[in-house]
Structure 1
């Protein structure tokens, strides 16, 4: 049986003690972010109270840039850095852990298991903690669904989401991620999150389109254990509004804490 690693235990302890975790997603794409004021971004997220950092994206990857991003995060924050790779190029031994993910509703075997098979021996050799993650992509899909050739799950069909999430649980995945799409106009409906959370016993992560504290709190109320945010912080970063980032994270976490579970 697989033993829980340090990062996995950290998250499980947060679920037990606080009821949730808030993860900040950073896309290590040199075409999207500059390292010039990146440390200020991480400092603002850290001071706002985020639980940890996910590093990954669906498009361009520069290995040296990825390593530089991780180095900066670790120089500023003691929170864990978890890889969230869109392909084998998104793997680095500098991270604390990796969401070893499979997009179960992809139509391409390469993205479901072959890319993972290529990277797996190296991940094990490095001793990088792997947290297995079933990745379910919902309409409208966005870049991630396009790149991995997924059939996005309709937002008005919770029964389909339940079927995939239950399959993930029975396969032995540690967690399941309900992805609404980076920059989506709206988050996944709370009724879908609630339906999945009530049916499976593994932690549910929700991301995509969660822009306000109220939307984040709604996800926690519906039963999610982790809320992921990223795009809204990229928008603040472009404008250099670090105080808004810090205050936004704090307001979001305060709203999530207010939910009576």
Structure 2
């Protein structure tokens, strides 16, 4: 008892922390004290945007808390360690864009989970600024959470959800592309799915990134599932009209999507036309397989390029992705 009080006095000047307890998560996890200590240290050290000294301070305070309470808990949200101060992913993306010009967000399909954490670790080493996790037809929410959790234990860059439906929300993610499919013919994908998922985003304290989502072309899974009126690849003016509508509606992100596995990518001409009018973060994805294509899209004004199918299907994807990241940076 005396030893514990001495430790408490020694750490009395350290900031208090807020530890989140997720009762649903506790149904699936039970940690012994030794393993819990290791997991806490690993989680804190993997938290982005916190200085090394602050991380060590938080680790020290956390260990005192664990010793004092003898609790068995699952800490699932890195914001629990930041003294209640949210380090906005949106600000991080803005700063990365200012630093590098164009960023790469590899997309990991939650339906193809084999080696997801390993892939995330590799792309981080190549210079990816964040990892997207999602899929147009993903339905297994528990599997999604397991994938996100495994990825976060391996990387320091943010994990951002890219959901195709309300099942694409995970409590472990840092942020979510909270998107509306602007050119869908189905109200469900414009506002209804968003309404159904909004409370979960708030409950899990996931940072929402307000995103206008536009499907370009036809024939992909995203186009089919989302019941989109695909904008023809050569109709730049229509894309501009939608992009301005997104901006005027307060959407600070715009995602031009040809769809995973698309036979062609969005042209630099369309990207350039949209860039002249849209002032937010411009994301472009779908059908980008070659470094030359990525470089042209970056020069046309894309802030973020999303790579997905190449990672899933190309055996030499590591060399190509590494080249893409180098080529798109200024």
How far residue 249 of structure 1 moved from its aligned partner, in angstroms, is: 2.1
Aligned partner (choices 106, 121, 137) of residue 24 of structure 1 = 106
SS in 2 for 1:56: strand
Alpha carbons 1:45, 1:245 under 8 Å: kept: no
In structure 2, runs of 5+ residues without a counterpart are 1-85
Aligned partner (choices 175, 189, 207) of residue 111 of structure 1 = 189
User: Does residue 174 in structure 1 map to residue 216 in structure 2?
Assistant: no
Alpha carbons 2:231, 2:238 under 8 Å: kept: yes
Could you tell me how far apart the structure 2 residues matched to 1:10 and 1:34 are?
27
TM-score, length basis structure 2: 0.72
Flag as ranges the 4+ runs of structure 1 deviating above 6 A.
none
Could you tell me how far apart the structure 2 residues matched to 1:47 and 1:247 are?
12
Alpha carbons 1:53, 1:81 under 8 Å: kept: yes
Aligned partner (choices 130, 133, 150) of residue 208 of structure 2 = 130
Report Cα offsets for 1:177-221 as digits up to 9, x if no partner: 000111112210110000000111112100000111111111110
Could you tell me how far apart the structure 1 residues matched to 2:179 and 2:165 are?
10
Aligned partner (choices 132, 142, 146) of residue 68 of structure 1 = 146
Alpha carbons 1:175, 1:203 under 8 Å: kept: yes
Alpha-carbon RMSD across the aligned residues, in angstroms, is 1.6
Matched with 2:325 is 253
Select between 91-100 and 135-144 the one with higher mean Cα deviation: 135-144
Aligned partner (choices 201, 211, 220) of residue 289 of structure 2 = 211
Matched with 1:184 is 262
Alpha carbons 1:142, 1:181 under 8 Å: kept: yes
Alpha carbons 1:97, 1:129 under 8 Å: kept: yes
In structure 1, runs of 5+ residues without a counterpart are none
TM-score, length basis structure 1: 0.90
Q: How does 1:1-261 map to 2 (within 5 A)?
A: 6-29=88-111, 33-35=112-114, 37-236=115-314, 241=315, 244-258=316-330
SS in 1 for 2:132: strand
- The number of residue pairs the alignment matches comes to 246
Alpha carbons 1:132, 1:173 under 8 Å: kept: yes
Change (3 A) 1:110 1:34: closer
Q: Relative contact order: is structure 1 or structure 2 higher (C-alpha 8 Å, sep ≥ 6)?
A: 1
